[in-house]
Structure 1
Amino acid sequence: MGQSVSRRVVTATLVAGTLDILSAVVYTLIAGKQPINMLKGLASAVLGDDAVKGGSEIALAGLGIHFAIMAVMVAFFVIVADRLPVLKTRWVMAGIGYGIGLWAIMSLVVLPMRYGFHPFKPLGLAEQFFSHIVLVGLPIAWFARK
């Protein structure tokens, strides 16, 4: 018998959310910026632009927002996969497709609405696809299949 929906959602959220935020920290450091400011930027999407002026409590709020968003993305996939068994039997393809879909929603809808459109650079695009497919989509699909 498979794991409960809530157990799969929590586990996949913790794994995919941690991998995703760690990749964001690495890419932030490579860009020569501070991860705390990246987390404040996440918080500012909900708390407003002045949040970036806050302290470590705002960065923690950004981390919490990140995991809350990840939980919604995971719950959606787990629930749909329970209704469409092909997403479990073909979980690798489903994870790749879901990662690409999540990238599209974030990069073509959410971020442009919040920050305006930014042109894509090849390296940045490769990093985004890696993170969304390998670190988010595949782990979510793997945990959903159980």
Structure 2
Amino acid sequence: MDAVSFMQRQKDNSADEHRLTDALGTLSGRRPKALLPIMVGGLAAGGLDLISAFITYGWGVPRVIAAGLLGIKAIHGGLFVYFLGVALQFFIALSAAAIYYAASRKLEFLKDHALICGLFYGIAVFLVMNLIVVPLSALHGRGPFGLMALIQGLVVHMLLIGLPISYSVRRFSE
């Protein structure tokens, strides 16, 4: 190998390393930018919703959440079932935050109008949970809802789920 071809190979390797570094920087730069709003919004929404459920329905709520996956017998389950319910609560909230974040990448108004969009997103989450997820769960829950339960569910989802998610995406997204 002569000196000219060696220098050319070094130059090509250097260019390849630079491209790889740029690509890795871009990838790693995007992950934290997406992860922060999803984690903050999802954890806040999941925590606030769980606290609201504890206040309204008592400390057994995580077992009911787990029963949606395991069946009605889970309501009498132990500590594992309880923590599974808590984990499922946060999985659902983080999923809702990830969906909102992904939508906000294409629909800029979701970030620009976080108040209105967050309130409507809370309604959408309520509808998806009560018209799709719960009926398809192992509990096969269905309405009809009493008027007060419907209003309470909508308000909780609007204020404690939709708004934390929309404002976290607005605050922590690029």
TM over 0.5: yes
- In structure 2, the gaps of 5 or more residues are 1-31
Deviation at 1:139, TM superposition (A): 0.9
Tell me by how many angstroms 1:50 deviates. Answer: 2.6
Q: Percent identity?
A: 28
What is the Cα deviation at residue 145 of structure 1?
1.0
Contact 2:38/2:97 (8 A) holds in 1 = yes
The C-alpha deviation readout for 1:32-62, integer Å capped at 9, x for no partner, is xxx22x2111112222333222112211110
1:126 corresponds to: 151
User: What RMSD, in angstroms, separates the aligned Cα atoms of the two structures?
Assistant: 1.7
Residue number in structure 1 paired with 2:71: 48
**4+ aligned runs moved over 4 Å, structure 1:** none
**Structure 1: stretches of 5+ with no match in the other structure:** 30-34
Partner of 1:108: 131
The residue type equivalent to 1:14 in the other structure is L
Q: How do residues 25-104 of structure 1 correspond to structure 2 at under 5 angstroms?
A: 25-29=54-58, 35-36=59-60, 38-104=61-127
Return the offset for 1:111: 1.8
Count of residues in Structure 1 that have an aligned counterpart in Structure 2: 139
SS at match of 1:120: coil
Q: Which amino acid aligns with 1:76?
A: I
Aligned mates of 1:107, 1:46 — CA distance in 2: 15
Distance 2:105 2:114 in 1: 12
Q: By how many angstroms is 1:101 displaced?
A: 0.6
CA contact (8 A) 2:120 2:162 kept: yes
